[in-house]
Structure 1
Amino acid sequence: MSLRLSTVILPVHRWHEGGRERWQRAEELGFHAAYTYDHLSWRSFRDGPWFGALPTLTAAATATERLRLGTLVTSPNFRHPVTLAKELISLDDISGGRVTLGIGAGGNGFDATVLGQEPWTPRERADRFGEFLPLLDRLLTEDAVSHTGTHYSADEARNVPGCVQRPRLPFAVAATGPRGLKLAARYGQAWVTTGDPKLYEDGTPEQSVEALRGQVEKLGKACADIGRDVAELDKVLLTGFTPDRNTLLGSVEAFVDFAGRHRELGFTEIVVHWPIADSDFAADQAVFEEIATEALGRLG
């Protein structure tokens, strides 16, 4: 099974002070895609520079030619399907059809309360996502959409001419629970996971692999329940949140071992964070670039 390697470039650099060069370098290194987080701020980066995801991706689209671009991931926390659809259609047009929308239900944190609301419970997030994603699917595939929902509505929302990619740009749906996996099975062209968060602090790499194996099996069942072949979905692992996060970018050999074990689980794309000094994503830039150019060739 072939495996693709992609990267996440967090929007922490001014565009003219290193931002543009990172996206261009990602293309030069041969990454399949470069993504960015769609947050208004994030964890330890909250008090430092942090730029908007969609404007950053638009700039990246004009600075690159082949690299796929996308969010990893956006969520309903501060988005509405109507306005998001318009922005995505514009971005898909500017990029020449190179956009993938990573999307999930969201979580707690700054984005969950920044608009002044109380954070939603897990059930409320699932309810909203269950309405958000089908409406977004319609908005990206139909010229005019009207919908009256519990959480989201649209009144003759116009989206002519639609996406460059047909019938719409691909969805990479982040999910691990049963409701999210059903949405991934029905609407996704890819599925995204970061692993089992319960193993982040004290788990072992072996436990993480078994947890991911279980997630892949549940995705397969969700697809089978609606008569879909799970092989139709790409399986994307966003690294940096598993127990071996501090070693997998330590050497090409370590990454090849990691990638091989996860390819065996059925993953088709592994995403690594572009190094950021003095952060959770610190790594040796030279080793990172060596991984980008050599690791997949060594997998065989």
Structure 2
Amino acid sequence: MAVSTELPLRLSTVILPVHRWSQEGRRIWQRAEEVGLYAAYTYDHLSWRSFRDRAWFGALPTLTAAAAVTDRIRLGTMVTSPNFRHPVTLAKELITLDDVSNGRITLGIGSGGTGFDATALGHDAWSPRERADRFAEFVRLLDRLLSEGGGGVSYQGDFYSAHEVRNIPGCVQHPRLPFAVAATGPRGMRLAARHGQAWVTIGDPKTFGGTPADFFAGLARQAERLDGVCEDAGREPAGLSRVLLDSSFTPLGVGPLSSVAAFVDYAGTVASLGFDELVLHWPVPDSVFAADPDVFERVVTEGLAQLAS
């Protein structure tokens, strides 16, 4: 059963790149399309937290394989960061992926953190300020490379450079594939308002471990700050889509996958705060993303319909 598209909230998933393609990977990505999810994303890391000593595959090859075995579902990263990416090489891979998928790619992009990716290339982890500075330059250059690459892009910045880089024929989507910019602070939100087609949040980390009311109050404050940032930038706030990546794997105290009723209550509050899209993690056994697969499937196939009614 596929969910209707005439619903108050789009429902998407994150499928971690932990599955061997020939064994489970292909089936899971195809199932995400079959049940009617709006989009399926994957983490763009070299490894991640408790999965460091477990199977973990590359995000862009995984998305390319998924694009080849699906037809309708949107695909993307959640999220890509400058930790081990360079705008020039990333842009070439993205226009290729956008072509293979026939224009179904969204680039989730964020400043990165201090996890394993941060030191994998042999340098010290960047400070929060340097991450923010690099991220701003990264997004600006990537925007140009994907939008103007046909005529060649040259650039010399503090952290990145490009010399007569051509990306022909460019993206299938025009003027380029959409950016979903992850941000919690004002600098990141300004980037989302200037360059993004969507804004991504997991909520205010200061509220993690509190009550559900604390979490949703923090989320409301973030959304209100984004409104102000958009207005200051001369952008209509309603023109920037809002995406909540479910963070119930953190000490949050609220979980939408315990039952369909719990999901309807959670998703209803998310929609009431003006969010357009809710992203749930596809269950991974024996991990922080463990969940009853039958409940997950019922949430996906029945939950939004119950919310709409």
Matched, 1:175 2:156: no
What is the RMSD of the two structures over their aligned residues, measured on CA atoms? 1.1
Q: Following the alignment from structure 1 to structure 2, what is the Cα–Cα distance between the partners of residues 266 and 135?
A: 30
Partner of 2:233: 226
Q: Following the alignment from structure 1 to structure 2, what is the Cα–Cα distance between the partners of residues 75 and 173?
A: 10
Partner of 1:67: 73
Matched, 1:96 2:99: no
Q: Following the alignment from structure 1 to structure 2, what is the Cα–Cα distance between the partners of residues 69 and 219?
A: 25
In the alignment, is the contact (CA less than 8 A) between 1:162 and 1:168 conserved in 2?
yes
TM-score of the superposed pair, with normalisation by structure 1: 0.98
Using the TM superposition, give the Cα deviation of residue 296 of structure 1 relative to its aligned residue in structure 2, in angstroms: 0.7
Matched, 1:211 2:223: no
Q: Following the alignment from structure 2 to structure 1, what is the Cα–Cα distance between the partners of residues 117 and 140?
A: 22
In the alignment, is the contact (CA less than 8 A) between 1:239 and 1:245 conserved in 2?
no
In the alignment, is the contact (CA less than 8 A) between 2:210 and 2:252 conserved in 1?
no
Partner of 2:4: none
Q: Following the alignment from structure 1 to structure 2, what is the Cα–Cα distance between the partners of residues 281 and 250?
A: 12
Partner of 1:270: 278
Using the TM superposition, give the Cα deviation of residue 2 of structure 1 relative to its aligned residue in structure 2, in angstroms: 2.4
- Structure 1 moving runs of 4+ over 4 Å: 241-246
Q: Which residue, 198, 206, 227 being the options, matches 1:198?
A: 206
SS, match of residue 272 in structure 1: strand
Partner of 1:44: 50
Counting aligned pairs with the same residue, the percent is 67
In the alignment, is the contact (CA less than 8 A) between 1:126 and 1:180 conserved in 2?
yes
Partner of 1:9: 15
Q: Following the alignment from structure 1 to structure 2, what is the Cα–Cα distance between the partners of residues 197 and 296?
A: 26
Using the TM superposition, give the Cα deviation of residue 280 of structure 1 relative to its aligned residue in structure 2, in angstroms: 0.6
Q: Which runs of 5+ in 2 are unaligned?
A: 1-6
Using the TM superposition, give the Cα deviation of residue 17 of structure 1 relative to its aligned residue in structure 2, in angstroms: 1.0
Matched, 1:162 2:170: yes
Q: Which residue, 267, 285, 305 being the options, matches 1:259?
A: 267
In the alignment, is the contact (CA less than 8 A) between 1:205 and 1:243 conserved in 2?
no
* Pairing 1:70-89 to 2, within 5 Å after superposition: 70-89=76-95
Matched, 1:294 2:285: no
Q: Following the alignment from structure 2 to structure 1, what is the Cα–Cα distance between the partners of residues 246 and 255?
A: 11
Using the TM superposition, give the Cα deviation of residue 148 of structure 1 relative to its aligned residue in structure 2, in angstroms: 0.3
Q: Which runs of 5+ in 1 are unaligned?
A: none
In the alignment, is the contact (CA less than 8 A) between 2:211 and 2:254 conserved in 1?
no
Partner of 1:137: 143
In the alignment, is the contact (CA less than 8 A) between 2:242 and 2:276 conserved in 1?
yes
1:11-63 superposed Cα distances (whole Å, 9 cap, x missing partner): 00110010110000000010000000000000000001000000000000001
SS, match of residue 26 in structure 2: helix
Q: Which residue, 7, 19, 30 being the options, matches 1:24?
A: 30
Using the TM superposition, give the Cα deviation of residue 84 of structure 1 relative to its aligned residue in structure 2, in angstroms: 0.3
Q: One-letter code of the match for 1:14?
A: R
Using the TM superposition, give the Cα deviation of residue 197 of structure 1 relative to its aligned residue in structure 2, in angstroms: 1.6
Q: One-letter code of the match for 1:40?
A: L
Using the TM superposition, give the Cα deviation of residue 226 of structure 1 relative to its aligned residue in structure 2, in angstroms: 1.4
Q: Following the alignment from structure 1 to structure 2, what is the Cα–Cα distance between the partners of residues 249 and 95?
A: 30
Q: How many matched pairs?
A: 299
Q: Following the alignment from structure 1 to structure 2, what is the Cα–Cα distance between the partners of residues 250 and 63?
A: 30
Of stretches 162-171 and 235-244 in structure 1, the one that deviates more from structure 2 is 235-244
In the alignment, is the contact (CA less than 8 A) between 1:208 and 1:243 conserved in 2?
no
In the alignment, is the contact (CA less than 8 A) between 1:35 and 1:69 conserved in 2?
yes
Q: One-letter code of the match for 1:69?
A: L
SS, match of residue 31 in structure 1: coil
TM-score of the superposed pair, with normalisation by structure 2: 0.95
Matched, 1:188 2:187: no
Q: One-letter code of the match for 2:195?
A: Y
In the alignment, is the contact (CA less than 8 A) between 2:212 and 2:254 conserved in 1?
no
Q: Following the alignment from structure 2 to structure 1, what is the Cα–Cα distance between the partners of residues 228 and 168?
A: 36
Q: Following the alignment from structure 1 to structure 2, what is the Cα–Cα distance between the partners of residues 55 and 107?
A: 22
SS, match of residue 256 in structure 2: coil
In the alignment, is the contact (CA less than 8 A) between 1:199 and 1:243 conserved in 2?
no
